[in-house]
């Protein structure tokens, strides 16, 4: 629409992230700050309103809202269909803060219990399941194994990544039924402008 404008909370989020990247010495500290900033962003009424018209990302897609040319962090969106079954994966060496903006999702975390000696083999145990309501943000460290499951309604999440993974490096994909592990490309990034 011709009258769409940038959303102030989103612009502030980017400014505050850039300040955190400049100020803080390491990625863990930056992403812990990023998690707090994302907690504010996913409570913003203008963001929630805008998210109502974001397109579905079914078919292993992510909306790409922003990628910082200097700091390298990336901000993605995912829009899940009701009851979406998420696959088990990691995000390689990137840190990820995952914030639910609308609907509910559950985040499953897994522990790897095999000795990693067998190529293509991985045995996992479910470690925890956290229900994410709108406003909830999870921080996922590098190589942590997890799955995001959709709730009973459409759900929308905003993801802050320490860097874009898709199109740069492969990430891990796990099959718990077959106990297999392989490396795959990340979701396709679709550039999308956040406006209100
Ligand atoms: Fe993930």
Q: What is the CA(171)–ligand 1 centre distance, in A?
A: 10
Asked if pLDDT for residue 1 goes beyond 60, the answer is: no
Q: What is the CA(180)–ligand 1 centre distance, in A?
A: 18
Q: Quote the tokens at residue 62.
A: 């992510």
pTM above 0.85, yes or no: yes
Compute the distance between CA of residue 28 and CA of residue 55 in angstroms, rounded to an integer.
Answer: 31
Q: What is the CA(49)–ligand 1 centre distance, in A?
A: 24
166 — pLDDT class (breaks 50, 70, 90): confident
- Given the structure tokens 């891990």, which residue do they identify? 172
pLDDT in tens, 62-95: 999 999 999 999 999 999 999 999 999 999 999 9
Q: What is the CA(9)–ligand 1 centre distance, in A?
A: 24
Q: What is the CA(186)–ligand 1 centre distance, in A?
A: 10
Report pLDDT for 4. Answer: 86
Q: What is the CA(150)–ligand 1 centre distance, in A?
A: 12
- Given the structure tokens 């990340």, which residue do they identify? 186
Report pLDDT for 68. Answer: 98
Report pLDDT for 40. Answer: 98
Report pLDDT for 159. Answer: 98
Q: What is the CA(147)–ligand 1 centre distance, in A?
A: 6
Q: Which long-range contacts (CB under 8 A, 24 or more apart) does 23-32 make?
A: 27/95, 27/162, 28/95, 28/141, 30/73, 30/162, 31/95, 31/97, 31/139, 31/160, 31/162, 32/139
- For the chain, what is the mean pLDDT? 96
Asked if pLDDT for residue 26 goes beyond 60, the answer is: yes
Q: Quote the tokens at residue 4.
A: 């769409």
Asked if pLDDT for residue 2 goes beyond 80, the answer is: no
pLDDT in tens, 107-160: 999 999 999 999 999 999 999 999 999 999 999 999 999 999 999 999 999 999
Q: For residue 54, give the 3-state DSSP assignment.
A: coil
Q: What is the CA(47)–ligand 1 centre distance, in A?
A: 21
Report pLDDT for 3. Answer: 65
SS (H, E, C) 21-37: HHHCCCHHHHHHHHHHH
Q: What is the CA(42)–ligand 1 centre distance, in A?
A: 17
Q: What is the CA(146)–ligand 1 centre distance, in A?
A: 6
Compute the distance between CA of residue 190 and CA of residue 65 in angstroms, rounded to an integer.
Answer: 8
Q: What is the CA(167)–ligand 1 centre distance, in A?
A: 15
170 — pLDDT class (breaks 50, 70, 90): very high
Q: What is the CA(161)–ligand 1 centre distance, in A?
A: 10
Q: What is the CA(12)–ligand 1 centre distance, in A?
A: 25
């Amino acid at each position: 629409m011709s009258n769409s404008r940038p959303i102030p909370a989103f612009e502030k989020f980017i400014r505050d992230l850039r300040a955190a990247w400049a100020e803080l010495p390491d990625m863990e500290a930056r992403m812990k700050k990023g998690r707090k900033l994302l907690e504010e962003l996913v409570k913003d009424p203008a963001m929630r309103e805008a998210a109502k018209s974001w397109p579905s990302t079914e078919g292993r897609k992510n909306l790409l809202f922003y990628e910082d040319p200097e700091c390298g962090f990336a901000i993605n969106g995912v829009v899940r269909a009701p009851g979406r079954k998420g696959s088990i994966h990691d995000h390689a060496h990137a840190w990820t803060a995952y914030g639910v903006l609308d609907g509910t999702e559950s985040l499953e975390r897994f522990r790897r219990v095999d000795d990693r000696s067998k190529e293509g083999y991985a045995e996992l145990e479910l470690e925890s399941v956290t229900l994410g309501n709108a406003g909830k943000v999870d921080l996922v460290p590098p190589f942590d194994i997890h799955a995001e499951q959709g709730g009973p309604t459409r759900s929308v999440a905003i993801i802050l990544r320490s860097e874009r993974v898709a199109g740069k490096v492969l990430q891990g994909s796990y099959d718990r039924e077959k106990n297999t592990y392989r490396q795959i490309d990340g979701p396709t990034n679709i550039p999308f402008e956040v406006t209100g």
